[in-house]
Structure 1
Amino acid sequence: MEQTNILNQGIYKTFFKYVSLNVLSMLGVSLYVLADTFFVANGVGADGLVALNLALPVFSLINGTGLLIGIGSATLFSIATGKGERGAGSRIFTQSFLLGAVLGVILTLCGIFLNQPIAMMLGANGDHIISMTSTYLKLLMVFSCAFILNNLLVAFVRNDGNPRLAMFGMLGSCLFNIVFDYIFVFPMQLGIFGAALATGVSPILSMVILSSHFFRKKNHFRLKKTRLNAKELISSVLTGIPSFITEFSSGIIIFLFNMVIMGIAGDIGVAAYGIVANLALVCIAIFTGVGQGIQPVVSVNYGAGRMGNVLRTYLLGAALAFVLGGLFYLAALFFPDQIASVFNSEGNGQLQALTRDGLSIYFFGFLFAGVNVVTTSFFASIARPKPSFLISALRGFGLIVPCLLLLPRAFGLSGVWMTGPAAELLTFICCVAFMLSFFKKHRVRVPKPLEAN
C-alpha cells in the first residue's frame, strides 16, 4: 500500500515524488485561465481581457469549492489510513462526492439564470463588456460540477498513492484546453464564448483519465451506498476551509483590485491587472502544488506519530517554495516588457507600461507567498484548521483590505501593486511565529541522519 511506502521510503524521495507531480498538476489547473487570457488578448483584444478579469472571481469560487471538499476529505482519508483505518476511504469519498454534486448544481443554476446580474455586480459596465462577461460566466458556471468533482477526484487519486495519474489527468485537460482555445477563438472565431467552452470541457477529460484509478487493485476508495456521517462531513469541510480561502481569496482580491483600479486607471488599468493577476495565479498554483504535495506525506507521518518526518517535510516544502518565489520575482524584475508584450498584440503603449510596472512591484510578494501557502497546507494536513484558517484569512482578507485602502491613497496605482507584497510579508512574519511555537510545543527536532524514517 502506498501509505506504507510513505512511511518506509526515504523522506527526500517521497517528498520530491509527491511535490513534483502535484506542482505539474496544479500548473495544469492554472493554465486553464492563463490560456484563456493569452488567446482572448490576441483574438479579442483589451475589452476581452477586461471581461475575462471581471469573471475571474467566479472561477476562483468554483475552483475553491472543489478544493474545500477535495482537500479536506482527502486529508481525513490520509490521516485515517495512517492510523490503519482502511475502510474509511469509500465512506468519506461518497459523502464528499454528493456534497460536491449538490454545490455544483446550485452554481450551475446561478450561472444559467443570474449570469448578467453577477457580471454587473463584479463591475462590468457598458453593453459590450456586460455581454462578454456574462457570456463567459454563464458557460463557466454551467460546468461547475465538472470543476468541483474533478478537484475531488484529483485529491483522492493523489492521496491513494497515484500522484502520477493525478498529474496526467490535469496536464491532459490543460493540453485539451490550450488546443481548443486556439481552435475556438481563431479558426472558428467564437471569441470569448469559445475560450469559456474550451475551459469548461477540460475538467471532464481530466475525470475520464482519473477514472481509470477505480480499476486498480490498490484502489482504496469508490462510490458506495453509505449512511451520512454529519460529524465526519463537517470535519472534512472544516479541514478544507484553508484551501478554499487560499483559492477564493484570490478571486476576492481580484474583485477588490478591479474596483480600485477602475477608479484610478479605467478599463485599460483593469486589463493590465488582468495580465498580472493571471500570471500571479500560475505562481500561486505552483505554490499550492508544493503545499498539496507535502499534504499526504505530512498527514500519513502525523497519523503514525513520526513528528521528525513531519518537520523535515515542512522545511523542505518551505525552502522549495521560497526558491521558486525568488525565481518568479527575478523574472518579473528583469523581463517585464517581454512578458507584457505576449498579452499585448495590439501594441497598446499604455497597457504595456501599466503591466510592466505592475509585474515588477507585485511579484516581490512571491518571495513570501510560497512559504505562506505551504504553511497553510501544513496545518491543514494535520487537521489543525484554526492556524491554517488564520494564515489564509490574513493573506486573503485581513491584511489585503487595509493595505488596499491605505497604500493607493499614498502612492496611486503603484500603491495598488504594493498591496499584495505588503500583505504577504506581514503574513510571513506570522507564519514564522506559528511554526516556531508549534514545534517548540511538541519538542520536535530533525532526527539524524536526515534520510532516517
Structure 2
Amino acid sequence: MNFTSGKIRSLYFKYLTAAFGSALMTSVYSIVDMAMVGQYQGPEGTAALAVVAPIWNIIYSLGLLMGIGGSVILSTLKGKADKKLENENEYFTVAVMGSLFLAAIMWIVIVFFDRELLMFFGAQGQLLSLAETYLIPIKFVIPSFLFVQMLAAFLRNDKNPTLATIGVLSGGIFNMIGDYIFIFVFDMGIYGGGLATAMGSVISCLVMLTHFLSTRNSLSLMKPTKIFYQFNRVVITGFSTFFIDIAMGILTILFNRQIMKYLGTNALSVYGIIVNVSTFVQCCAYSVGQASQPIISVNYGAKLGHRIKETLKYALYSVMFFSLFWTLLSLLVPNIYIYIFMHPTKEILKIAPTIIRCYALSFLLLPFNIFSTYYFQALLKPKSSFIVSVSRGMIISGILIYMLPLIQANYLWLTMPITEFIVAIYAIMLMIRYTRQLPNGHETIDV
C-alpha cells in the first residue's frame, strides 16, 4: 500500500470504506443513546442528551486536534525525498503528550464542574437532573473518548485504517447492545445509556492500542528535539478540524438558548434530533476527508500534484453523493427521524417537518465545506482551513443565530443553510487556486 505509486482509486476507496465505518460508528455513541433514551423517557430524555451534546463535541475535537495535526505533518514528512526519519515520531510523541494533557484538563472539568457546565449549555430543572445522571458513568473514562480520536488518525496515516475501523466498530456494537440491555432489560434508563457509552469507548481504545504490538507499526515514542515548536505546529495544523467539532458544541449551546427563549421544549427536542442527524452528515464528510488526507499529504510531500488532483476528483464525487442523499432523505421523509428517536406527541409531529426541512437544506453544502478543511490541511494551508472552520462554526452562524429570530422566530432554522452557502463560495475559490498551484515534481515544499 504505497501512497506515492499505488493506484489512487484503490487506495482512496479502501481508505474511504475504513474511514466511513470509523466515522459513522463514532457518532453511534450519541445517536443510539438518544434514540433509546428517547424511547424510554420521551422528549425530556431526548432534550437532556441534546444538552450533553456539546461535551462530546469538545472531547472529540481535542482528540482530533492532536490526531489530525500530528498525523498530517507525519505523513508529509514520510513523502519527502529528503526526509529525516527521526523527526516523524517526534510529532507522534508530541501528539500523545498533548492528548494526555488535554484529557487531564477535561477530566477535572467534567468531574468537578459538571453541573455548572450543563447549566451553561442550557440545562434546567428535570433536564439538568437527567443530564447529570447520564454523565455519572462517563466521568470515569473521559480520556478514552479523546484517545480514540487521536489514535484513529495516526493508525490511518500508519497504513492501518482497518484496525481503526475495527476499534470503533467494536465499541459501537457493544454500545448498541449495551444500550438495550442496560436501559430496558436492567431498567436503568438514562444512566444505562451513559454506562454503555462509557464501556464502549474503553473497548474501542483497547482495540486500537493493539496496533503497537503488530509488525506493521512504525509509530514509537521518542524524545522531541523542539517540543514547544513541534507542539505549536501540531496545534496550528490540526486546529481547523478541532474547531469543526468545537464549533458544533458552541452552536448547539447558542441554538439551545435561542430555542428555549423563542420556541420552547418541544422545538428543543426536535433540534436535538436534527443536530444528531447533522452529526451523521458530518461523519460522512469526515470520512471523505480522513480517506483523502493521508494520500494527499504524502503526495504533497513527494511533490506529485497529479496524484493529488486524482484523489480530489474521487473525494468531490463522494461529497456530492452524501450531500444529495441526506438532503433528499430529510426533505422527503422528515418524520422518519422523529419516530427513530422518540414516541412523539402530536405537537412534535406538527412542528417537526418544517424544522427538519429548513435545517436540512444545509446538508447540500455541509459535506463539501468540511472536506475543504481537510484538503487545505493536507496541503499545509492551515490559515485557509481555519478561516473556513471559524466562519461556518462561529462568526457567520453565530451572527445569524441572533439576528434571524428577531425577524421571525422560525427563521432560526435557516441559520445553517445560509451559513454553508456563504462559506462554500469562499472554499470553492480557494480550492481552485490551490489545486492550480500544486507541485508537479520539481518545486520545493517547506515542511
* Aligned 8 A contact 1:57 1:255 in 2: yes
CA drift at 1:65 = 0.4
Which residue number in structure 2 is paired with residue 125 of structure 1?
124
* Aligned 8 A contact 2:94 2:230 in 1: no
Which amino acid letter does the alignment assign opposite residue 378 of structure 2?
A: S
* Separation in structure 2 between the aligned mates of residue 295 and residue 424 of structure 1, nearest angstrom: 22
Which residue number in structure 1 is paired with residue 233 of structure 2?
235
Q: Which residue of 425, 428, 443 maps to 2:424?
A: 428
CA drift at 1:47 = 1.1
* Aligned 8 A contact 1:184 1:198 in 2: yes
For the pair 1:393 / 2:390, whether they are aligned, the reply is: yes
* CA RMSD between the two structures: 1.7
* Alpha-carbon displacement from aligned partner over 1:223-253 (angstroms, at most 9, x marks no partner): 3455562111110111110001111111111
Greater displacement, 429-438 / 237-246: 429-438
CA drift at 1:49 = 1.1
* Separation in structure 2 between the aligned mates of residue 225 and residue 231 of structure 1, nearest angstrom: 13
Which residue number in structure 1 is paired with residue 56 of structure 2?
59
Greater displacement, 92-101 / 365-374: 92-101
| Count of aligned residue pairs for this structure pair | 439
Which residue number in structure 1 is paired with residue 97 of structure 2?
98
* Aligned 8 A contact 1:140 1:196 in 2: yes
CA drift at 1:138 = 4.7
For the pair 1:202 / 2:203, whether they are aligned, the reply is: no
Which residue number in structure 2 is paired with residue 21 of structure 1?
18
Summarize the alignment of residues 159-238 of structure 1 with structure 2, pairs less than 5 Å apart. Answer: 159-224=157-222, 229-238=227-236
CA drift at 1:259 = 0.7
Which residue number in structure 2 is paired with residue 269 of structure 1?
267
* Separation in structure 1 between the aligned mates of residue 59 and residue 291 of structure 2, nearest angstrom: 21
CA drift at 1:385 = 0.6
For the pair 1:110 / 2:143, whether they are aligned, the reply is: no
Which residue number in structure 1 is paired with residue 146 of structure 2?
148
Q: Secondary structure at the match of 2:3?
A: helix
CA drift at 1:319 = 2.4
Q: Secondary structure at the match of 1:8?
A: coil
Q: Which residue of 355, 359, 379 maps to 2:356?
A: 359
Q: Secondary structure at the match of 1:9?
A: coil
* Aligned 8 A contact 2:330 2:356 in 1: yes
Which residue number in structure 2 is paired with residue 451 of structure 1?
none
* Alpha-carbon displacement from aligned partner over 1:42-62 (angstroms, at most 9, x marks no partner): 012111111110111111000
CA drift at 1:444 = 7.3
* Aligned 8 A contact 2:63 2:150 in 1: yes
* Separation in structure 1 between the aligned mates of residue 89 and residue 440 of structure 2, nearest angstrom: 34
Structure 1 unmatched ranges of 5 or more: 446-453
Q: Which residue of 71, 74, 85 maps to 1:74?
A: 71
CA gap of 1:156–1:184, structure 2 versus 1, over 3 A, is same
TM-score, length basis structure 1: 0.93
Summarize the alignment of residues 221-370 of structure 1 with structure 2, pairs less than 5 Å apart. Answer: 221-224=219-222, 229-345=227-343, 347-370=344-367
CA drift at 1:408 = 2.2
* Alpha-carbon displacement from aligned partner over 1:246-282 (angstroms, at most 9, x marks no partner): 1111111111111111112211111110011111101
* Aligned 8 A contact 1:318 1:375 in 2: no
* Separation in structure 1 between the aligned mates of residue 224 and residue 427 of structure 2, nearest angstrom: 39
For the pair 1:402 / 2:382, whether they are aligned, the reply is: no
Which residue number in structure 2 is paired with residue 35 of structure 1?
32
Which residue number in structure 2 is paired with residue 437 of structure 1?
433
* Separation in structure 2 between the aligned mates of residue 162 and residue 380 of structure 1, nearest angstrom: 21
* Aligned 8 A contact 2:68 2:241 in 1: yes
Structure 2 unmatched ranges of 5 or more: 442-447
* Separation in structure 2 between the aligned mates of residue 135 and residue 106 of structure 1, nearest angstrom: 21
* Separation in structure 1 between the aligned mates of residue 291 and residue 167 of structure 2, nearest angstrom: 16
* Separation in structure 1 between the aligned mates of residue 279 and residue 182 of structure 2, nearest angstrom: 23
* Separation in structure 2 between the aligned mates of residue 369 and residue 48 of structure 1, nearest angstrom: 28
Which amino acid letter does the alignment assign opposite residue 85 of structure 1?
A: K
TM-score, length basis structure 2: 0.94
* Separation in structure 2 between the aligned mates of residue 417 and residue 216 of structure 1, nearest angstrom: 49
* Aligned 8 A contact 1:168 1:209 in 2: yes
Q: Secondary structure at the match of 2:380?
A: coil
Q: Secondary structure at the match of 1:186?
A: helix
Which residue number in structure 2 is paired with residue 450 of structure 1?
none
CA gap of 1:400–1:160, structure 2 versus 1, over 3 A, is same
* Alpha-carbon displacement from aligned partner over 1:316-362 (angstroms, at most 9, x marks no partner): 212211221111011111111223222232x3111223322222121
Q: Secondary structure at the match of 1:118?
A: helix
Which amino acid letter does the alignment assign opposite residue 11 of structure 2?
A: T
* Separation in structure 1 between the aligned mates of residue 205 and residue 347 of structure 2, nearest angstrom: 42
Q: Secondary structure at the match of 1:161?
A: coil
For the pair 1:376 / 2:386, whether they are aligned, the reply is: no
Which amino acid letter does the alignment assign opposite residue 434 of structure 1?
A: L
* Aligned 8 A contact 1:111 1:142 in 2: no
Greater displacement, 8-17 / 237-246: 8-17
Greater displacement, 277-286 / 313-322: 313-322
* Separation in structure 1 between the aligned mates of residue 110 and residue 187 of structure 2, nearest angstrom: 23
* Aligned 8 A contact 2:303 2:439 in 1: no
* Separation in structure 2 between the aligned mates of residue 406 and residue 207 of structure 1, nearest angstrom: 42
* Aligned 8 A contact 1:107 1:141 in 2: no
Q: Percent identity?
A: 28
